[in-house]
Amino acid sequence: MVFSSKPLRWLELILRIALGGIFTYAAWVKLRDPWELYALAINSYEVLPLWAVEIVARTLPWLELAIGVGLIAGIWLRISATVTSLLLMVFFALMVRAFAKGMQINCGCFGGADIISKWTLLRDGSMLAGSLLLTSMAFARQRKTT
């Protein structure tokens, strides 16, 4: 099976560390600031009622932290990679929707002023591609070992 080759094991490790580091950093910048700032960014997408915005703003950074740590540590890789891919799919879809509608809003990805642009779409799209690759590798390796 190709996924057992050494270069691909290195690629998996790099993807795990990179995505895990990004998710851990994204969680940290949100958790160090008051939750209201992240809630404001979520609210600017205009897809959730305010009560749901508050729940997401208070819980999502902790989920991102758990995923980040899980990816870096390599534990429950199939689960953490799958959740990462699902989250990134939702984030990317929301960002594309906002960009297509011409909304000049903060993406809410890493705190601070990060207005949605072609650059932010390219960045998150690359992360999504990397995450899907990692997920497929995790499942392929599992199939081989079972």
Partner 1 sequence: MKPSAIALAALLPCLAASLGEVDKAKTFGNPGAPVRIELFSDFQCPGCKAFHEVLLPVIIRDYVVPGKAYIFNHEFPLAMHPHSREAANLATAAATVGKYSQVADVLFLNQASWGTNGKVWETVATVLTPAEQKKVQALAKDPAILAQVQQEVDSGQAQRIPQTPTIIVSRGAKRYSFPGPDQNNYPLLRSLIDGLLK
Contacts with partner 1 by CB under 8 A lie at 33-34, 36-37, 39-40, 43-44, 50, 53, 104-106, 112-113, 115
Nearest distance from C-beta of residue 125 to partner 1, angstroms? 22
Nearest distance from C-beta of residue 105 to partner 1, angstroms? 8
Instruction: CB nearer to partner 1: give 40 or 72.
Output: 40
Nearest distance from C-beta of residue 113 to partner 1, angstroms? 4
**Rounded Cα gap, residues 51 and 70, in angstroms:** 29
Instruction: CB nearer to partner 1: give 43 or 85.
Output: 43
Instruction: CB nearer to partner 1: give 32 or 143.
Output: 32
Consecutive H or E run containing 44: none
Nearest distance from C-beta of residue 10 to partner 1, angstroms? 38
Instruction: CB nearer to partner 1: give 5 or 36.
Output: 36
How many angstroms from the chain centroid is the CA of residue 87? 5
Consecutive H or E run containing 23: helix 6-31
**CA separation, residue 90 to residues 13, 43, 68, 77, 83 (Å):** 24, 15, 17, 20, 11
Q: What are phi and psi of 111, to 5 degrees?
A: 70, 175
Q: In angstroms, how far is the first alpha carbon of the chain from the final one? A: 13
Q: What are phi and psi of 125, to 5 degrees?
A: -65, -40
Nearest distance from C-beta of residue 115 to partner 1, angstroms? 6
Instruction: CB nearer to partner 1: give 52 or 73.
Output: 52
